[in-house]
Structure 1
Amino acid sequence: MPSPKLGLSLTGFQKTGRSLTATAQRAEQLGYDSVWSAEAWGHDAFTPLAHVAAVTSRLRLGTGIAQMAARTPAATAMTALTLQELSEGRFTLGLGVSGPQVIEGWHGVPYHPPVRMTREYLTVLRKALAGSERLEFSGSFFEIPYSGPGSTGQGRPLRTTVRPEADTPILVAAMGPKNVAMAVEEADGLLPYLWSPTRWQDTWGEALKKAPEGFQVAPTVLACVGDDIAACRDRVRPRIALHIGGMGSRSKNFYASLVSRYGYTEEVRRIQDLFLGGERAKASAAVPDELVDDLALVGPPARIRDQLAVWREGPVTTLIVEPAEPGMLESVASVW
């Protein structure tokens, strides 16, 4: 299996034009293959990539992730088509459902069951990107043209007016077993977060056995390079604790469920109890060394090289590194 490529998450990097230009151009010089932009309820995922496209020539560009509920499938297709044209074909579309707290609390729309909704979304999206026929679809969540309550009855099927991009890679940030199985069937790859290079098989293995040739697996991994391994672990603990403890409720947190399936059930329960109880510092401290070492790249360069050997043994095709601080851009590339 080919060695994975090195990607860079733009999380934590300044999004001013001058800073983003410097980061992207330096990443290209250092040999990074791609940069990935995310969104929560601050910066959107697409606009920074348009800027990066204008100041680079080789870097691939990906959303890691864009929230599906934030845009109709057609709006996402329009944005993807625009970025493909601006970047001359360097764009990869990464999508995710996010969670009920963000979708209902920020976007103000209902949170739908991820598997069925994602399947429909991808079907509409691929039709819009392909541009081979006028866009028509009738499903449980999407009806195009719309003719339901409140419609004027004047909607008509349309086809994109710009160059189609049917081959745009679409990756899905799936974590639950059913959603991962759906992604293997419908998408071109997975965008996991909190991926374990030592325990992935028990959680993801059965679904990935059915993946077609060329299927991409592009996890984002936290990284902190430094001589003091304890200090490096402490730098990434809060980020792990945030996802396990705070990215969702006690009853609906995809990250907590994933790490529990890895075998850290008691650790997850304790982190959640502390985080949801308002004791964030204690929640971070409760992330054990074993879990940090399993999910992140931490410590001196020689140690991280040993860790990377394990990551390269699995199905990962692109490793998207999220440095603990922007100044580690060079050290990560050097270790790689």
Structure 2
Amino acid sequence: MATNRDVFLPVAAQPSVDALVEQAQSAEEMGYDRAWLPESWGRNAAVVLTSIAERTEDIGIGTSIMPVYSRSPALIGMTAATLQEVAEGRLRLGLGPSGPIVIENWHGVDFGNPLRRTRETVDVVKQVLSGEEVSYDGEYFDLDGFRLRCDPPDPQPPIDTAAMGPKAVELAGRFADGWHALMLTEDGLAERYEDFRHGRELADKDPDGGQVTLSLTCMALEDRERARELVRGHSAFYLGGMGTYYRDNMARQGYEDIAHEVYDLWQEGKKREATAAIDDDLLDTLAVGGTPDECRERVSEWEAMDCVDRVSVSFPRGAEVEEILNTVEALAPEA
């Protein structure tokens, strides 16, 4: 597959919206193809992406991810239509359920059935973006009689869904235009890709089509130990501190003992021990951390996998702005 490199803008350690815009501008100058922005409990992704769209020329923009529980499907569709207009066709919409820690603790919404809600949201958003009258009778959403009061976006932005488990990845293949993969080892990614292909087959699509974007945690610094410390700490936070979602995902990939050890230690308040429990073998098949030369080689190896269309260079949550910028530069496509 031909592979292009994206950048996954960080939500942590950012002093302002301007800082995120400047990072997107730098990524554009360095040859990155798209700037993705997550939305959790910080800045509103749509507002930030609007600022980025108006102050860049060519780089694509995208949400990775916009949670399906925090907005209605119609509002997501309206937001996507507006962003596509502002960005002059450069938007790719990434959706997903997020996780119960974020949805229940922050939005106060029952996490419910994330697969069904994601599928129905994708269905409704596609209807909204078509410009036709929306008519939908689902388990979660029952809509009838409205359509956009502005011209529908042309082209319609593709819709990806983020997923880790087998059924969720199959759903991405069946109902969406692409899959956002995260927190997967190399073997785990290859295994889940078969679920993505199966989903496309169920929808009578080309099983080798669709776009697979891998969000890959990276830190490329001359201080090798600092880089690996940041990546290891980030992995421990997700396995231990974000509920059982990521723990179970790692256990499913053959790392059950480590996943439960990290989770249990973190829950006991032993964060340092939890971080140390992630050995080098797991770290190096899950993320990229080291010197710039080491990281460039490892990212290229991920990109060479048959199941990867795009690598989105992501960053550990504890990284400082300067360390993020150094990594963006070190891993730039034109470096």
TM-score (norm 2): 0.89
1:163 alignment partner, SS class: coil
Report what 1:153 is aligned to: none
2:36 alignment partner, SS class: strand
**1:185 counterpart = 2:174:** yes
RMSD across aligned positions (CA): 1.9
Q: Distance in 2 between matches of 1:81 and 1:214?
A: 24
Of 159, 171, 174, which residue of structure 2 is paired with 1:170? 159
How many residues align? The count is: 320
- Is the 8 Å Cα contact of residues 81 and 164 (structure 1) preserved in structure 2? yes
Q: Distance in 1 between matches of 2:105 and 2:291?
A: 41
Report what 1:160 is aligned to: 148
Report what 1:118 is aligned to: 118
Of 277, 280, 297, which residue of structure 2 is paired with 1:306? 297
Q: Distance in 2 between matches of 1:15 and 1:320?
A: 22
Cα displacement (A) at 1:227: 3.6
Cα displacement (A) at 1:334: 6.4
Q: Distance in 1 between matches of 2:165 and 2:93?
A: 20
1:333 alignment partner, SS class: coil
> Taking every aligned residue pair, what percent have the same amino acid on both sides?
34
Do the aligned partners of residues 15 and 76 (structure 1) sit closer, same or farther apart at CA in structure 2, a change above 3 Å counting? farther
Which stretch has the larger CA shift, 65-74 or 107-116? Answer: 107-116
- Is the 8 Å Cα contact of residues 68 and 95 (structure 2) preserved in structure 1? yes
Of 244, 250, 254, which residue of structure 1 is paired with 2:245? 254
Which stretch has the larger CA shift, 51-60 or 95-104? Answer: 95-104
Of 234, 237, 242, which residue of structure 1 is paired with 2:232? 237
Cα displacement (A) at 1:202: 2.8
Q: Residue type matched to 1:230 in 2?
A: E
Cα displacement (A) at 1:292: 1.2
Q: Distance in 1 between matches of 2:21 and 2:45?
A: 16
Q: Distance in 1 between matches of 2:101 and 2:252?
A: 22
Of 258, 269, 275, which residue of structure 1 is paired with 2:260? 269
Q: Residue type matched to 2:75 in 1?
A: A
Cα displacement (A) at 1:26: 1.2
- Is the 8 Å Cα contact of residues 36 and 62 (structure 1) preserved in structure 2? yes
Of 270, 283, 294, which residue of structure 1 is paired with 2:274? 283
Cα shift readout 1:114-163 (whole Å, capped 9, x = no counterpart): 2222111111111111012x112111100114xxxxxxxxxxx1110122
Q: Distance in 2 between matches of 1:299 and 1:102?
A: 30
Cα displacement (A) at 1:306: 2.6
- Is the 8 Å Cα contact of residues 3 and 311 (structure 2) preserved in structure 1? no
**1:319 counterpart = 2:323:** no
- Is the 8 Å Cα contact of residues 177 and 204 (structure 1) preserved in structure 2? no
- Is the 8 Å Cα contact of residues 211 and 309 (structure 2) preserved in structure 1? yes
- Is the 8 Å Cα contact of residues 303 and 310 (structure 2) preserved in structure 1? no
Which stretch has the larger CA shift, 49-58 or 188-197? Answer: 188-197
1:321 alignment partner, SS class: strand
Do the aligned partners of residues 64 and 307 (structure 1) sit closer, same or farther apart at CA in structure 2, a change above 3 Å counting? same
Cα shift readout 1:211-266 (whole Å, capped 9, x = no counterpart): 43441111211111124433321111111111111112xxxx23212211221111
2:163 alignment partner, SS class: coil
Cα displacement (A) at 1:207: 3.3
Task: Work out which of the two has the higher radius of gyration on C-alpha atoms and give 1 or 2.
Answer: 1
Do the aligned partners of residues 11 and 102 (structure 1) sit closer, same or farther apart at CA in structure 2, a change above 3 Å counting? closer
Cα displacement (A) at 1:308: 2.3
- Is the 8 Å Cα contact of residues 100 and 111 (structure 1) preserved in structure 2? yes
Extract unaligned runs of 5+ from structure 2. 201-205
Extract unaligned runs of 5+ from structure 1. 146-156
Which stretch has the larger CA shift, 197-206 or 168-177? Answer: 197-206
TM-score (norm 1): 0.89
Do the aligned partners of residues 311 and 70 (structure 1) sit closer, same or farther apart at CA in structure 2, a change above 3 Å counting? same
